Amino acid sequence: MPPESLPADNPRRLALRLSVKIMLWLAVLMTVWVLFSPFGRETQTRPLSEQISFPVGDMQIGEVRIVEWLSKPLIIVRRSSALEAQLIAADEVLYRDPLSQASVQPESALNAQRSHTDNWFVALGLGTGMGCALTYKPAAAEIFQGKPWSGGFVDGCDAAHYDLAGRVYADQKARLNLTVPVWELVDQQLVLKPQ
């Protein structure tokens, strides 16, 4: 026996069906908005083509700054000429990728200093192993005593050590050197372009 069909002209049932459909569509729209709204806000506040600059004219030799760039930490180091000479003279066997052949940087940074501008180094402040934030440790830090390291950066998750050119040491868990973005120094401003 076929089930009895509901009367088509029952306004109460039609209103209930309409209300349920509206609530379901609102739930779907709210879910989509919650999931995707952070991406929309980021592109609205910072277009991908925007150049970003940081004032660095007041940085002292030996100073390290970690700033935010596109929601990521960015390391800016003003190195001394003596430190740069030390980086150039460092034994390549100390590093996992001494010539940065497998690492990410502009062509102009394929050198021991990993920079195209004397006395300056810029890199993303995220370890290349687990992607965790780095901490700066000066050469005098206890962690470097008795080792051939002259200060640098330590990954907060896997404790990988990087020198002041962002090169990872050979006995560490990370495999790549720190990522060097495209940057230039213009009128005491560090200018970066999103990659």
Give residue 44's pLDDT: 43
Give residue 144's pLDDT: 65
Give residue 96's pLDDT: 92
Q: Which has the closest alpha carbon to 130: 148, 96, 157?
A: 157
Q: Are 109 and 100 spatial neighbours (Cβ–Cβ below 8 Å)?
A: yes
For the chain (length 195 residues), average pLDDT per consecutive 10?
Answer: 57 85 88 70 47 91 92 94 90 90 91 93 94 88 68 90 93 92 92 78
Residues contacting residue 181 through CB under 8 Å, at least 6 positions apart: 69, 74, 106, 122, 123, 124, 192, 193, 195
95's tokens: 């590093």
Give residue 8's pLDDT: 56
Q: Are 80 and 63 spatial neighbours (Cβ–Cβ below 8 Å)?
A: no
Strands (E), 4-99: 52-55, 64-69, 72-78
Residue 189: its H or E element? strand 189-192
Does this model's pTM top 0.75? no
Give residue 155's pLDDT: 93
Q: Which has the closest alpha carbon to 51: 148, 184, 167, 166?
A: 184
Other CB atoms within 10 A of residue 120 CB: 19
